[in-house]
Amino acid sequence: MKTFSDSRSRVRRYALITAAIVLVLLAGVGVYGLLTGPTPPAARPSATTSPSVAPSASASLSPTAAKPPAVKGSRDPDVFARNLATTVFTWDTGSGLFPLDYSASILAVGDPTGMEQAGLASDVAAYLPSREQWVELRKHATRQSLTITRTYVPEAWGEAVSQAAPGQLPSGATAITIQGTRHRNGEWDGRPVSEDLPVSFTVFIACPPKAGSCHVLRLSQLNNPLT
């Protein structure tokens, strides 16, 4: 005869299995820090590909430096996520800045406790060209921007929240998946060239009740979002 203790053990076993599945799901999209703690920097898939816009000998190698775009704050999760995504994808090699300058703008609105900053720095680096690629792209006068077509809270995030232990996620934490088009423009032998590619990714943010604005925790791997 099955006892109440047996049933309770079986329920606990199922709950642990479900939690493990959700954890694997989150790890699969590159969200290493939120539930599992920080890990070494991941591979940089977008930085190892060849530049899509080819060089132009006429482009200046010593442009006047400017300030990188800043993330506009907001207490609305969707608005903040859109502002963040736009900033991540907006850069201009003709500005005189380098990838680390653009990274600094994202890290400035990162986790104020500092717990996710190392992971976030690794995430952002995967979205930007390496310094060596940047130097080559500057010869193209390459610049990039993003058009957002859709944002939504993925179902998988709801499952993760329901399985997370009390206090395991930051106050006001949420995930927003973004779909859009990445635009790159530059020059080839003095002629303008451009390329548009669809992109999707998930931003993990926190909007604490008493905070003046949301802040970013982590980014998923590019084109590997939560759904």
**Alpha helix (H) ranges present in 90-203?**
99-107, 117-127, 131-139, 155-163
Query: What whole-number distance in Å separates Cα of residue 164 and Cα of residue 153?
Result: 17
Task: Tell me 128's DSSP state.
Answer: S
What pLDDT, on a 0 to 100 scale, did the predictor assign at position 1? Answer: 53
| Cα→Cα distances 209→96, 113, 159, 170, Å | 38, 16, 22, 11
Which ranges of the chain have pLDDT less than 50? 2, 4-8, 10-25, 27-28, 30-33, 35-64
The DSSP code for 110 is B
Per the document, the length of the chain is: 227
Which pLDDT value is given to residue 57? 34
Dist CA 149 CA 43 (whole Å)? 27
pTM: 0.76
Tokens of 22: 């959700």
Q: CA 102 from chain center: how many Å?
A: 13
